[in-house]
């Protein structure tokens, strides 16, 4: 298991307490940029964990946030996605506001990632069938550049939100009384990330990653890479849990028998993707671990050759990997949010030759 070498937000007398850690980025010097959704600001710490300054505050004016959601590098600047305000605020590293991006075509941007001097904004648009019986979400991976112009759509796919699966959550959304949401494990979903000139996209149904290279403001397919790692089966108890969840939904809303909800037999090949800050490593969270208290991550080089696997505590939510450091958010048993930094072994962190450089000034 990776060794933790720094914790922020838990020490006795710690002057900085988090309300809700939404995202984390780091620069080449090891400075940490931590988005606190509850405080509606970005707290900056040096590599030793000392607080330096905060960016933004609650509000609707320039440099203020209504619902800050994600961070991404935009060249040497830091971009902050405000999900409710539908805009991206760009700050320099001293905290000064440099630019604000928005576009009237945006409807629901919920993820952000860096692609050199552009960003990859992930948008979800709601669709309905002609009979209004079922809602669908169409997901777009859009390449965006100042002042918010969508210059290319890298990929699209449709999610049905009658049973909308994201990572390990089975969610159901219905009309009438509103949202019904329950949780059951192990549904495959689309994952993505980007660094430097490359965008990576994959689905957990198989161990395959599709690659795109950005040139001249467009994303060009660059092939895909797959591995034959076996997908672990769901245990009988896990399958029974999903069956009970579906039966409970059926009792509440009378699901359409013509659209049966399948119970998966295999767990996804992977559930999340993180590309390291230098673009040299691709991390994929898998379900092959034997210890239920841990989570397992496969580590690949930039050509997606498998290098090895590491484990982390199950409660750690990984946000970023940069150099020899992995940054994660977690909560204690009492619900106290904090940030943990873990040391990545040399053989997994060392940059590989020929890998794309990150667009963060490193």
| Rounded Cα gap, residues 351 and 347, in angstroms | 9
Angle, CA 237 vertex, CA 235 and CA 243 arms, to 5°? 110
Q: What pLDDT is attached to residue 146?
A: 84
Whether residue 30 is predicted with pLDDT greater than 90 in this model: the reply is: yes
Average pLDDT in the 121-150 region?
A: 69
Q: What pLDDT is attached to residue 126?
A: 64
Whether residue 16 is predicted with pLDDT greater than 60 in this model: the reply is: yes
CA torsion, points 182, 188, 190, 192, in degrees to nearest 10? 100
Give 238 or 285, the one with higher predicted confidence.
Answer: 285
pTM, entire model: 0.84
Q: What pLDDT is attached to residue 160?
A: 43
Beta partners for residue 132, in sequence order: none
| Rounded Cα gap, residues 281 and 276, in angstroms | 5
Q: Indicate the range of 141-150, 241-250, 297-306, 323-332 predicted with least confidence.
A: 241-250
| Banded pLDDT at 46 (limits 50, 70, 90) | very high
Residues contacting 29, CB < 8 A, separation 6+: 46, 47
Give 256 or 35, the one with higher predicted confidence.
Answer: 35
How high does pLDDT run on average in the chain? 79
What are the φ and ψ backbone dihedral angles of 191, each rounded to 5 degrees?
Answer: -130, 160
Q: What pLDDT is attached to residue 113?
A: 86
Whether residue 162 is predicted with pLDDT greater than 50 in this model: the reply is: no
- What is the percent of the chain with per-residue pLDDT over 70, rounded to a whole number? 78
Average pLDDT in the 174-198 region?
A: 53
Instruction: Give CA separation, 235 vs 195, 224, 230, 266, in Å.
Output: 36, 31, 15, 9
Give 112 or 312, the one with higher predicted confidence.
Answer: 312
Instruction: Give CA separation, 123 vs 140, 141, 205, 343, in Å.
Output: 5, 7, 22, 33
Q: What pLDDT is attached to residue 13?
A: 63
| Banded pLDDT at 97 (limits 50, 70, 90) | very high
| Banded pLDDT at 174 (limits 50, 70, 90) | very low
What are the φ and ψ backbone dihedral angles of 192, each rounded to 5 degrees?
Answer: -160, 160
| Banded pLDDT at 182 (limits 50, 70, 90) | very low
SS3 at position 18: coil
Average pLDDT in the 206-215 region?
A: 87
Please check whether residue 82 is in contact with residue 40, taking contact to mean a CB–CB distance below 8 angstroms: no
Q: What pLDDT is attached to residue 14?
A: 67
Average pLDDT in the 224-245 region?
A: 82
| Banded pLDDT at 319 (limits 50, 70, 90) | very high
Q: What pLDDT is attached to residue 274?
A: 92
| Rounded Cα gap, residues 146 and 261, in angstroms | 42
Give 277 or 299, the one with higher predicted confidence.
Answer: 299
Whether residue 17 is predicted with pLDDT greater than 90 in this model: the reply is: no
């Amino acid at each position: 298991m990776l060794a933790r070498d720094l914790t922020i937000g838990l020490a006795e007398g710690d002057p900085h307490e988090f309300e809700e850690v939404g995202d984390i980025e780091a620069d080449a010097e090891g400075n940490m940029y931590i988005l606190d959704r509850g405080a509606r600001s970005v707290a900056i710490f040096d590599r030793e964990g000392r607080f330096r300054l905060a960016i933004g505050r609650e509000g609707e004016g320039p440099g203020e946030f209504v619902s800050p959601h994600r961070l991404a590098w935009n060249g040497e600047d830091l971009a902050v996605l405000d999900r409710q305000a539908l805009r991206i605020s760009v700050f320099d590293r001293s905290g000064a506001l440099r630019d604000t991006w928005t576009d009237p075509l945006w409807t629901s941007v919920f993820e952000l990632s860096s692609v050199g001097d552009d960003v990859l904004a992930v948008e979800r648009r709601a669709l309905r069938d002609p009979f209004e019986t079922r809602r669908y979400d169409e997901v777009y991976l859009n390449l965006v550049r100042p002042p918010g112009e969508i210059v290319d759509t890298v990929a699209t796919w449709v999610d049905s939100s009658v049973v909308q699966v994201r990572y390990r959550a089975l969610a159901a959304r219905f009309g009438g009384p509103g949202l019904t949401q329950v949780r059951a494990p192990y549904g495959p979903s689309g994952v993505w990330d980007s660094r430097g000139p490359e965008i990576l996209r994959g689905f957990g149904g198989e161990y395959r990653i599709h690659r795109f290279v950005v040139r001249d403001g467009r994303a060009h397919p660059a092939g895909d890479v797959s591995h034959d790692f076996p997908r672990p089966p769901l245990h009988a108890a896990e399958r029974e849990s999903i069956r009970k969840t579906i039966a409970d939904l059926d009792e509440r809303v009378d699901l359409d028998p013509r659209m049966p909800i399948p119970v998966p037999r295999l767990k996804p090949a992977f559930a999340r993707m993180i590309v390291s800050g230098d673009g040299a490593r691709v991390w994929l969270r898998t379900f092959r671990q034997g210890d239920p208290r841990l989570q397992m991550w496969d580590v690949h080089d930039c050509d997606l050759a498998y290098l090895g696997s590491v484990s982390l505590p199950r409660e750690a939510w990984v946000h970023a990997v940069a150099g020899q450091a992995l940054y994660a958010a977690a909560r204690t048993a009492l619900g106290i949010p904090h940030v943990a930094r873990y040391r990545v072994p040399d053989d997994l962190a060392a940059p590989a030759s020929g890998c794309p450089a990150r667009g963060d000034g490193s």
